[in-house]
Every structure is written in C-alpha cells, then in structure tokens.
C-alpha cells in the first residue's frame, strides 16, 4: 500500500498534532486508563507522528515499536524521541504483515484511529494476537460512526468488538472518552 506524500501528509500531521485532538482525549488520559506496566514492550500500530509512542516511551523501560508505513511520520517520531532523549523507541516502516517480531513478544498493542482502514480486519487482528504475549492487551481507539456520515470508512464499537472476539480477544473494558470516540481494551485469550 503506497500513500503519496505532499498535501495529504501535511494535513494529516496538523490534525494528528492539533490542540483540539489533545483536548478531546490526551495520550496521558489514555495511559492512565490502560494496564501499562513499567517493563512492557509496546507496539504502536499506525504510530503516525508519535502521539502515543512518545508518551508511552516515557512510561515504560521496554521497547516501543512505532509502526507506520509512512516514512515522513517516522522521521517526526525520530526527531521527537531525540529531543526528549528517549532511547527505547524503535521506528519501523512496515505493515503488520511485514513486521518480523517473533510471536508472543509484545505486551500491548495500541491502535488509534487506524483499524477502520483495514479490510478485511480479521487477518490483521489475528497477526496482532500472534505477536502478543499470553494475556497481552490490544487497545483500540476509533471514531463511532454517527448517522449516515460520509467521512470515509468507520466501524461501530459493536462491530469492532465482534471482530475482536472472532480473532480470539476478550474485551475487558469499554469507554467513550469523548462523544465521538470509543476505546476498547481487549485481552488475548487462549
């Protein structure tokens, strides 16, 4: 999958870094709601500009894999990590299919505003389940579709929960951090 750079990237970056987004739901709020341990290794799936990678890296001594197919985004993450003197961030320019992490090596995957773009979703969730340790967590943030909006593909919380269950996850918690945003915390089941 190839994304042309240019205008699209700039617009995306300005949204990903916007104060509105932080006000609606900050990374710190998310980190206070999830079962993150100091030794956890994290995969930030579709890391973008490091909105979650950077704050997560400050809270764990484990590795934080910032996975994105967009090199521009990973450059932003590298610059931020350098500025914050974070050495545990590993930028990875690949898709989940190309990721060469051994099974059972990740404690937690954070997927923010990205899973709705994946069709079909099942095989990706299966791959995520594989790289997670036993009882590892998948944290999913998505926008709840409202009415007949034409803002591109969206998946309802019920739809996401169904997909997760089918892929072998158990949803342990559900939140609506803001009116339009939902968060599912799912744990890998045997």
> Among 14-18, 147-151, 170-174, which is the least confidently predicted range?
147-151
* Percent of the chain clearing pLDDT 90 (strictly above): 67
The whole model's pTM is what?
A: 0.88
In the predicted model, is pLDDT for residue 11 greater than 50? yes
Phi, psi (deg, nearest 5) at residue 159: -60, -45
> Among 42-46, 87-91, 176-180, which is the least confidently predicted range?
176-180
**Tens digit of pLDDT for each residue in 147-164?**
655 556 789 999 999 999
Q: Are 87 and 80 in contact (CB under 8 A)?
A: no
Instruction: Please spell the DSSP secondary structure of 74-92, one letter per residue.
Output: HHHHHHHHHHTT---EEEE
pLDDT tier at 175, thresholds 50, 70, 90: very high
**Distance in angstroms between the alpha carbons of the first and the last residue of the chain:** 32
């Amino acid at each position: 999958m190839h994304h042309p750079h240019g205008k699209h990237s700039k617009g995306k970056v300005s949204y990903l870094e916007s104060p509105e987004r932080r006000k609606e739901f900050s990374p710190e709020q998310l980190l206070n709601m999830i079962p993150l341990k100091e030794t956890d290794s994290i995969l930030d799936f579709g890391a973008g500009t490091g909105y979650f990678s950077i704050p997560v890296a400050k809270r764990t001594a484990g590795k934080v894999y910032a996975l994105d197919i967009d090199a521009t985004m990973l450059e932003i993450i590298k610059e931020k990590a350098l500025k914050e003197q974070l050495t545990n961030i590993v930028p990875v320019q690949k898709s989940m299919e190309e990721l060469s992490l051994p099974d059972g090596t990740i404690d937690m995957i954070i997927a923010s505003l990205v899973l709705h773009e994946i069709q079909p979703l099942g095989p990706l969730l299966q791959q995520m389940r594989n790289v997670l340790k036993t009882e590892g967590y998948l944290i999913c943030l998505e926008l709840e579709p409202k009415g007949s909006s034409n803002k591109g593909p969206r998946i309802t919380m019920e739809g996401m929960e169904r997909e997760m269950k089918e892929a072998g996850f158990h949803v342990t918690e559900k939140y609506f951090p803001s009116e339009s945003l939902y968060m599912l915390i799912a744990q890998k089941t045997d």
